[in-house]
Amino acid sequence: MSHPLARMLFVSLVLTTAVHAADTDDGDSPRILKDESQLTSGSITVKGGKLTYQAQAGVEVVYLKDPKDDDPQPKNDKGDQPPIPQHVSMSYVAYFKGDHEDPRRPITFLFNGGPGSSTVWLHMGAFGPKRVITANDSHSPAAPYRLADNEYSLLDASDLVFIDAPGTGFGHLRGPDKEKAFYGVDQDAHTFANFIVQFLSTHGRWNSPKYLFGESYGTTRAAMLAYILQTEKSTDFNGVILLSQILSFDNSADAPQFNPGVDQPYVLTLPTYTATAWYHHKLPNQPQALEPLLTEVEQFALNDYWRALSAGNTLSPERRTEIAGKLHAYTGLPQDYIERANLRINVGEFEKNLLGSDTTTGRLDSRFSGPTIDPLSKEADYDPQSAAISSAYVSAFNDYVRKTLKFGTKWTYKEGIDVERNWDYLHQPPGATQKVPQTVNVAPDLAYAMKMNPNLKVMMNGGYFDLATPFFAATYELQQLPIQPALQKNIEMHYYTSGHMVYAHEPDLKALHDNVAAFIGKTHEP
């Protein structure tokens, strides 16, 4: 990155004995999966102090229901094996400060989203003791990649458990209709809940201060987990930390054209369009400071712009032209293009058109840009930021987990899988008797958890240049939570001059670490 790690020192890792099963793979595909893990130890010196830790990499088997609740099924007369129970091995890497695990320390469960993503991104970019160094807002050079000691690791404030989603990482699924059993909004959340309570039992951490940290779809999952763990597992959490939040998918501006009459995605994404155009110097009247401009745009979006969109086909031609002129001033897009688009620009169209036909801006981080795949396409064909850094993250982790953590030598690590064709998008919110036929909205889950546990604190973190989960949409969602005014004080919000993965920008990684560490520090009794 463009900002050097001035205070970062070297980490020395010392192998210790393995726990549980050894990391071997005989090439067979077992009928019943099993827990496996490997323990190593290490130390890191940050800001003049030495921080020692234990690292455990492994897979933990999770069942939909306790298999011991059922009587064992014998083989039939033909000697056939009984049916395989539905279960999944979920891979993880856990870090514990010190030379042994201390149950008095806070413990944070971290996960990325997708759905269908591993947690390599939070692990290697944000809070693990090692992080990969990538370019600030451009494509990182190919290997060899630089893996550095992470002076912003969250291990100083909490023990950490990075969890890969079912089927990703080193994990596998077993049993009849296994995709149907684990791939879905509710199925995924219940599987994570079972993993967490099982981990708490295995590691003796039931009485530790506990936190959830979700990024992207992981924020959707975290909202549901707070509710499930509290109501079904009788487990209060101290805090829920949301990074690049999306609770209501009606607010996504990826494809709002398929949901006419619901105009809020255009409204809530406009400030991010403005921030992006400001960064690339595409605004007709470029101000020096970003934040005052965003405040102005937010007011326009919630008032004049939303009213104009709500008018639909009754909007007068004169008013349409006036609003288009303001949108031109706030986005840098040509006014005639905005009028032809009926004042409604989705994310893909904005990415494709802001910098002209030959250059596409990033979706996850709109500071990035790259060559357009098809200059004649209507929308962007790829995400330049994802293309710019994915190889660095995945390559660095594959090297690190095998050489340093001594796990998965003969296994394949899946950084992400395509679950869309098997994903159940319906959700059963609190109070509903069944899954409801509407776009996913887990705000009721988070609100219910906050009411049931009025001490639960919520922290939202968003990047100004995130077109995937715009920061203003996240703010709006939390302001719309159906909770009492007194509970609003339990929510805090932080904004950063970066995108979806705010930690890809080193100054924001430092700010994110400091904000999250302070949040953890003030939300549990020492």
Residues of the chain with pLDDT > 70, as a percent, come to 93
Asked whether 291 and 482 are in contact (CB, 8 A), the reply is no
Query: In angstroms, rounded to a whole number, what is the distance separating the alpha carbons of residues 297 and 134?
Result: 32
pLDDT (mean) for 380-394: 84
Query: In angstroms, rounded to a whole number, what is the distance separating the alpha carbons of residues 399 and 147?
Result: 10
Q: Is the pLDDT of residue 11 over 60?
A: no
Residue ranges per domain, the chain?
Answer: 8-72+80-250+389-522, 259-345
Q: How far is CA 298 from CA 303, 416, 472, in A?
A: 9, 35, 8
Q: Give 152's DSSP letter.
A: T
Asked whether 363 and 467 are in contact (CB, 8 A), the reply is yes
**Preceding peptide of 485 cis, ω within 30°:** no
Q: Collapsing DSSP states into helix, strand and coil, what is residue 402?
A: helix
Is residue 296 within a helix (H) or strand (E), and if so which, with residue range?
helix 291-300
Query: Which range, 129-133, 145-149, 176-180, 329-333, is most confident?
Result: 329-333
- Per the structure block, which two tokens stand in for 125? 């970019």
Query: In angstroms, rounded to a whole number, what is the distance separating the alpha carbons of residues 297 and 274?
Result: 8
Q: Collapsing DSSP states into helix, strand and coil, what is residue 345?
A: coil
- pLDDT at residue 150, rounded to an integer: 93
Nearest alpha-carbon partner for 233 in 190, 204, 203: 190
Spatial CB neighbours of 412, under 8 Å, sequence gap ≥ 6: 170
Q: What is the pTM of this model?
A: 0.91
CA angle 488, 489, 493 (to 5 degrees): 85
263-281: b (≥16 Cβ within 10 Å) or e: bbbbbbbbbbbbbbbbbbe
Query: In angstroms, rounded to a whole number, what is the distance separating the alpha carbons of residues 167 and 256?
Result: 30
For the chain, the first-to-last Cα distance in angstroms comes to 36
Spatial CB neighbours of 390, under 8 Å, sequence gap ≥ 6: 415
- Phi/psi zone of residue 204: left (φ > 0), alpha (ψ -120 to 50 degrees), beta? left
- pLDDT at residue 78, rounded to an integer: 65
Between strands 210-215 and 239-243, the pairing is parallel
Spatial CB neighbours of 291, under 8 Å, sequence gap ≥ 6: none
- pLDDT at residue 385, rounded to an integer: 80
Residue 472, φ and ψ in degrees, nearest 5: -70, -30
Q: How far is CA 9 from CA 44, 48, 151, 288, 443, in A?
A: 7, 9, 8, 36, 42
Q: Is the pLDDT of residue 24 over 80?
A: no
Q: What is the pLDDT of residues 225-236, one digit of tens each?
A: 999 999 999 999
Nearest alpha-carbon partner for 54 in 109, 97, 2: 97
Per-chain mean pLDDT for the chain: 90
pLDDT band for position 358 (cuts 50, 70, 90): very high
- CATH code of the region 8-72+80-250+389-522: 3.40.50.1820
Nearest alpha-carbon partner for 210 in 221, 194, 199, 224: 199
Q: What is the pLDDT of residues 115-129, one digit of tens each?
A: 999 999 999 999 999
Query: In angstroms, rounded to a whole number, what is the distance separating the alpha carbons of residues 224 and 218?
Result: 10
Q: Collapsing DSSP states into helix, strand and coil, what is residue 89?
A: strand
Among the listed ranges 8-17, 319-328, 361-370, 380-389, which one has the minimum average pLDDT value? 8-17
pLDDT band for position 74 (cuts 50, 70, 90): confident
